[in-house]
Amino acid sequence: MGLTNNRKMKLRRLSNKKVAKPTKLSPAQLVKQDFGSKKELAAKVMPLIERNSEETEESFKARIETLSNKKLLKLYRIGTEVSEKFQTKDALVEAVYKNAHLDSGKVDQDYMNKLKTFSLGKLLDMNKYYRRNK
């Protein structure tokens, strides 16, 4: 026994109803939810990242406070990951060097100096890459 026309129509109507998908929070909503305001997040990010040597404290603060919410969240995530796992940028540089040069006996100081010029995000990515491909 097949489906009647009324039953087919009812099933079609039920299948066309859109199911509410869980919405993803925007960066502004995440900042407001987790930190209260953008200024509070910027204040937490400032000690986690390094500023340029020729940049004053006021200009650094102004630059950080004008970054987008998405960028601030990314910098906060990177900074906390580095501080939890490695404590300092130098320790992260040493970990990257150790993972990159497993069997090398002597230290390549030029390569270490080059690594120190990289950003924290790039160093974290390099560390993950070298650890994965050991």
Q: In this structure, are residues 85 and 120 in contact, taking their beta carbons and an 8 Å threshold?
A: no
**pLDDT on residue 21:** 67
Mean pLDDT of the chain: 82
Q: In this structure, are residues 116 and 93 in contact, taking their beta carbons and an 8 Å threshold?
A: yes
pTM listed for this prediction: 0.71
Tens digits of pLDDT across the chain (134 residues): 566 777 777 777 776 666 666 788 888 888 888 888 888 988 898 888 887 778 788 888 888 888 898 989 998 998 888 888 888 888 888 888 888 776 566 777 787 888 888 888 888 888 888 887 77
Classify residue 47 by its DSSP letter: G
- pLDDT one-digit tens code per residue, 63-90: 888 889 898 999 899 888 888 888 888 8
Amino acid 74 reads: K
Angle between helices 69-85 and 38-45 (to 10 degrees): 40
Q: Where are the domains of the chain?
A: 26-85, 88-134
